[in-house]
Every structure is written in structure tokens, then in C-alpha cells.
Structure 1
Amino acid sequence: MAEEKKREKVTLEKEIGKIPEMTVHSGPTNVGLEEALQQLRVSRQAYHGRSFVGNHVHKCLQPENTDLITAAISKKVQSLCPNDRDLIQKAEEIASKYNTLLKLFGACHRGINTGTFLDDSVIDKLDKDIKEYMLFYRQNFPTESVTPKQHLLQYHVIPWFRDWRASLGMMGEQGGESVHCQLNNISRDLRGYNDDLKLNIQCVKNQWILSSPSNYNKFS
């Protein structure tokens, strides 16, 4: 019997070896997710490690779009394995878990990326949303580590908002790049300064006045 089982094992291994390997991102569930993203006109960027750009993140985190994306998981499993109730139930549990996670994070995302100054009521709500998101994440993904950005979200965003009242939407990369460009243009007009420190200070003062002329004459 042992020899017979060994022969069966060798035969099965040969049959398995004939099956082509499934490449990354080619599985049926992944294809279903891609189809859902295409309905939303969202595409993952190859040059960003197949991640999303900012506008696509905002679109995917809308509650109705989150429902569409996560439902694709259970729909694909139901279409491929209609008689496997255990597998369908598992897919539905996964879809539900990620649906809740994305909606909780979506509330945080919209709270931190507004283009307005924030009052205490808005900051208090955001504080509550962040705590609910991180609690759900830790309870439902216990083997996953907390990323540096999640750490910043949980421990540093709210204190920063209470100090400055400005959302992260007002402090984005594009704004920083535009300020950098302004400072370079200003420095080219201040060639008479031989001291680098004085030049930098004057550049910042001029940029501050350009951004808000009411600051003129406020320097001591």
C-alpha cells in the first residue's frame, strides 16, 4: 500500500506540474476587483507600485463606491463556486470587514483633507472617527503592524489641528512645491545679499507678505 501511495503521489505531482503558475494580480478575485474599479474609472498606477493617486483614493472612499468595490469579492466567489456555501460565507465576511474598514478610514480621509480651517466641533468629530478606525483595525487585523502614517493619524494629527486649525488639505505637497518655487523666484531678485542667512530670512518675509499682504509692517 505504501508503494502504491508513493506512485499516486508521483503521478499527482506530475499533473500538478503541468498546471501553469498563476501570475501576480491574475487571480479571479483580483480580476473582479479590477472590473469594479473600471466601473468607477479608477486605475492603479504601474509606476506607483500599483497604488492609487490622490483623486482615485478620494473616489474609492466614497461610501457608495466602497460598497461596489467590496461587493465584487463575494460576487466573484458566488459566480465561480455557487454551491460552496462555506467559501461564499467566508468571502462575504471578508467583504464586510473591508467595507467597514474603508468606510471608517473614509470618514478620517474626508476630515483631514478639507480645504478649510477647522473649529472645535469638526476636530472633535475627526478625533472620534480616527479612534473608531484604529480600534477596528487593531481588533480585526491583529497580525498587521501599524504603519508610520497610521501612527501619525492616531497620535499627531489632532494635536496639530488644535494648534493650527488648518486641515492637511491646506498643507499638501502641491502647496509646498508652489511655496518652494516662490522662494526660488524671490531669491533670484535678492542677489545683493551676501549673507545666506539674511537672504533666506528676507525670502521668507517677502513670501509671507505675498501670501497675505496684511502682514506688511508686522515685522519687528
Structure 2
Amino acid sequence: MKYGSNSVGIRVVEVSKLCFSLEMYPILMPNRTQWCLSFESGDSFQNLSTALDRFREQLHELKALTWKEKTFRLFGFGDYEYLCKIYGLSGAGGRHFCLWCHVTQEESQIPRHLRTSQPRSIDSLIKDHADFLAEGQGKLKNAKEYNNAINNIIFEIPISQVCVPSLHLDLGIFLRFYNMFEDDIAKLQKKIDPSGTLNLVQSLDKTLQRMNVKRQAYHGKSFVGNHVHKCLQDGNIDMLTNAVIEEVKAVSPEYQDEATTICTKFNKLLKMFAKCHAGYSKCDYMEAEEIKELETNIDCLMASTESNFQMPKCLLKCTYWRITQFPGYRNGVLAVGSMGNRGENMCMLI
């Protein structure tokens, strides 16, 4: 059983809606039922605490229920900002950014087996917050000294049962890579035509249209999950990169080699990311070999971004750390793809 939340901004009436749902996830039966709370407000810690307070006892009782000699196991889900608020953390920008352990931004850059950071638990979060109030006087500038536990826990569900927001990771990483690709193409465009009449980036937009992929009008022109999945097919990656090469070849052949170098670099990057995406987006149980293969692909991707794009390794390490350290993923509970916001997005229609 999954419990969790998400929020949506309704621009027309300038209202933010917080939704909360409970989903049944029987292992042998894919059908699920869900109910939700709709709360028209922002998802600040105070609003979350007020809106979700009524569910504290119910979730606690659910943990103790049995049905036909089967026990209920609750898994929390939502975007990372929401999860940090539920567990009282200051968020991804804090020194101790990880929900699952005490790793620091600095420690995340060294190999996993050399780190000394300890896993978080409900008890450790409660103690860290109590110390933050008593010794740190509740001042945010002192949060890093107390593992960034700045608020009370809203739901005391074991952290090992909090799902990794893999959908949000996909959206953010793909958008970053795509914007990097556009930026490099824009620089080449200025070199070919300083007057600004040439628009190479437009060739990417036309290719997206042929793929029936649309960027969002708001939210930084991001992509929805299904479109990210479509863009990460090998054939579509080739279409995107080849479109730029063909356009440069037609308008300025002397720059074709430079265009090919840029596009080849991003073609390899996107295909490496596609392997990671395929590795953690599946909905089957993950065997040890599959986990090892995924971690190898993640390491290769991070090494590539650091050496070929001068992108600090910690940016991806902080992100992928959340996937590779999810206990449910390592203990064979369910694949990461089964544990995210699937089904929750239906609540956005209410």
C-alpha cells in the first residue's frame, strides 16, 4: 500500500492544490483503489502538517492491520521536496541532503564504500530535531549541525519504506541535458551566423514535433514523463542529433565537422542516460545482476558528465544517490518504477 501526495498549480485562478492519496498495490493484482484529500493551499510544512494531521492515527492503525493473515506495508511517495517536509528536513539544498542517510554534499563525491555516514531512522530524526531546538535554538543557520532536521516528522513511517521519486529525477536530468545540447547548438549558430538570422535550435523543435513530443509552456519548458521516455529511444536520439548535422550541412558545410562533434557527444550522453532510465523505470523485481548493471551505468554516466561536459559529478551523485540507496530497491521489495507517483497524477484531475 502506498500513501503520498503531490501538488499542482492552477494558473488560471492562481490556486495551488495539494492532493493526498492512499493506493492499494497488491503484488499479484495490478488493480488499485485510491482516495485523496484535495487541499487548496501551498505545500509548506505548516500547511502539510495541518492538512495531513487527520491521517496520522489512521496510517498508524493501518501498519498494525492484517487481512487473511497478510500484513499491510506502507510505502510513502511524492516529489523529493514533499518527502523532505514530511520527515522534517530542510531539503535537497541542505548540507545533509539525503533522506535515507547522513551523507553530506562533500561526502557524496567520494566512493560509496569509503563513506562513514550513517543511515537515518525515525529515532535519529526525532533526536536530531530535539537537539536542533534545544542546542541549536531552532535557528536555521545551525541546521547543518543537526543533520538538517528542522521540523517534526508528520508521518512516522520507516524511512526504508519511502519511495524514490524516479519520475521527477528523469524529468530534471533529461531537461538539464537537453538544455545543455541546445546551448551548445546556439553557440555554434552564433559562430556560423553572427547576424542571428539562422536558427539551428529550430531544427530540434521540428524534430520533437515529428516525434509528437511537446515541451511545457510553463515550468521551464520541461517535458512530461511519457515524452522523456519517447525521447530516450535510441532511434529518436539519433533523429534529434542528426537533424542538427543535416541542417548545418545544408546551410554551412564548412561547420559540419564541428556540428558532428557536438551532436556525437550528446548522442552518447543521452544514450548513456537512456540505459540508466531503462534500468530503474521497470516495474518488475530487480535481481542482483540488474542492480549491479544499473549502478555501473550510473557510474559511467557520471564520469562522462564530469570529463566531457565539465559538469560537477556531485550534481548527479546527489540525485542518483537517492536511487541506489533506496532500501526497498536493494531488498527486492519492488522496482523503483513501481514505487513513484504512478496513479497519484490522477488526483490532479480532481
TM bin, normalised by shorter chain, reads: 0.5 to 0.7
Task: Report matched runs for 1:94-109 at 5 Å.
Answer: 94-109=262-277
Confirm or deny: 8 A CA contact 2:302 2:313 kept in the other structure: no
Where in structure 1 are there 5+ consecutive unaligned residues?
1-20, 182-220
The CA deviation at 1:164 is 4.8
The CA deviation at 1:32 is 0.5
Q: 1:46 to 1:131 in 2, by over 3 A?
A: same
Q: Secondary structure at the match of 2:218?
A: helix
Q: Secondary structure at the match of 2:286?
A: coil
Deviation sequence 1:79-120 (CA, Å, 0-9, x none)? 1102x1xx2111100000000000000000111111122111
In the alignment, which of 156, 167, 179 is matched to residue 335 of structure 2? 167
The CA deviation at 1:74 is 1.1
How high is the TM-score relative to the length of structure 2? 0.40
Letter in 1 for 2:238: D
Q: Establish whether residue 152 from structure 1 lines up as the match of residue 319 from structure 2.
A: yes
CA RMSD in angstroms, aligned pairs only: 2.6
Q: Secondary structure at the match of 1:172?
A: coil
More helix by share: 1
Confirm or deny: 8 A CA contact 2:287 2:332 kept in the other structure: no
Identity of aligned residues (%): 33
How high is the TM-score relative to the length of structure 1? 0.62
Where in structure 2 are there 5+ consecutive unaligned residues?
1-194
Aligned residues: 153
Distance 1:35 1:156 in 2: 35
In the alignment, which of 123, 148, 151 is matched to residue 291 of structure 2? 123
Choose between structure 1 and 2 for higher RCO, CA contacts under 8 A separated by at least 6 residues. Answer: 2
Confirm or deny: 8 A CA contact 2:305 2:312 kept in the other structure: no
In the other structure, the counterpart of 1:110 is 278
Deviation sequence 1:48-71 (CA, Å, 0-9, x none)? 321110000000000111011111
Letter in 2 for 1:158: T
Task: Report matched runs for 1:28-39 at 5 Å.
Answer: 28-39=199-210
Task: Report matched runs for 1:190-201 at 5 Å.
Answer: none
Distance 1:177 1:53 in 2: 12
Confirm or deny: 8 A CA contact 1:114 1:167 kept in the other structure: yes
Distance 1:27 1:117 in 2: 49
Q: Secondary structure at the match of 2:283?
A: coil
In the other structure, the counterpart of 2:215 is 44
Structure (1 or 2) with the larger CA radius of gyration? 1
Distance 2:315 2:273 in 1: 15
Q: Establish whether residue 74 from structure 1 lines up as the match of residue 245 from structure 2.
A: yes
Q: 1:177 to 1:64 in 2, by over 3 A?
A: closer
Q: Secondary structure at the match of 1:169?
A: helix
Distance 1:137 1:67 in 2: 19
In the other structure, the counterpart of 1:59 is 230
The CA deviation at 1:27 is 5.5
Distance 1:131 1:30 in 2: 30
Confirm or deny: 8 A CA contact 2:302 2:316 kept in the other structure: no
Deviation sequence 1:167-215 (CA, Å, 0-9, x none)? 221122234567x99xxxxxxxxxxxxxxxxxxxxxxxxxxxxxxxxxx
More strand by share: 2
The CA deviation at 1:77 is 0.9
Q: Establish whether residue 89 from structure 1 lines up as the match of residue 260 from structure 2.
A: no
In the other structure, the counterpart of 1:202 is none
Distance 1:34 1:152 in 2: 28
Distance 1:147 1:104 in 2: 18
Q: Establish whether residue 133 from structure 1 lines up as the match of residue 304 from structure 2.
A: no
